[in-house]
Amino acid sequence: MIKKRRFTALKFALLLLSSQFALATDFSFTGNFTQDSDVQLFNFSLASDSSSVIIETLSLNGGVNAAGTTIASGGFDPYLAIFRKTDGQWFYSTEIKNKGDEAFIADGPLFAGNYILALTQTDNFRADDHLSDGFAYALGLTSFASIAFTTNGGGGSGHWAVDIKNVDSADIPPIPTPAALALTLMGMLSWQLSKKIAKKDRFTRAAS
């Protein structure tokens, strides 16, 4: 009888574990950039901590995406960056990769929560540690070749393809209105400012 209860408990634990993994899904996205400085954002979420999230591009060298679609080669040299959605804090990005390679993220674990993934080309890297800080080109930190999408070994085309694998949901957010975008940026900046003030207060109290 004891053995039977233990076996039932084990089966229940395995059922719970398998149900968590069953929720994980692969999402494939494709599109086209028209300018070197374009940035495409994606939302994705995890219901629980995970070490199995994989994010990869396919349009520079081509391949078959998670949806089974053959993606042509010849796109631009890609760059990916992950930010927390709650505060825009940078989490991980692909600054260190070989020229002419696809961008690939598989480092974990990622904690349960909501994230923003940014796709752009390699030279248009994140400017700092928050999404609200923007990207290099808009701040004058980089320049591009006279022929679009050819920097850093890109193939000269603006087409892109991204797979976000083993997550609970993923989508492309709607383009915000200028007013909504301004409010979002103000919220992120206020959060950063409050953190700096709190840190300064702690330092002042410790010094007194």
Say if residues 157 and 57 touch (Cβ distance below 8 Å). no
Q: What is the pTM of this model?
A: 0.75
- Asked if pLDDT for residue 207 goes beyond 70, the answer is no
Instruction: Name the residue with higher pLDDT: 183 or 62.
Output: 62
The two three-digit tokens of residue 194, written as one number: 């409050």
> Average pLDDT for residues 196-202, to the nearest whole number?
57
CATH class of residue range 22-173: mainly beta
pLDDT value for 119: 97
What pLDDT was estimated at residue 17? Answer: 44
**pLDDT computed for residue 192 by the predictor:** 56
Q: Residue 185 has what pLDDT? A: 55
Task: Quickly list DSSP for 145-207.
Answer: -SSTT-GGG--S--EEEEEEEEESEEEPPPPPPHHHHHHHHHHHHHHHHHHHHHHHHHHHHHH
Q: What is the pLDDT of residue 8?
A: 47
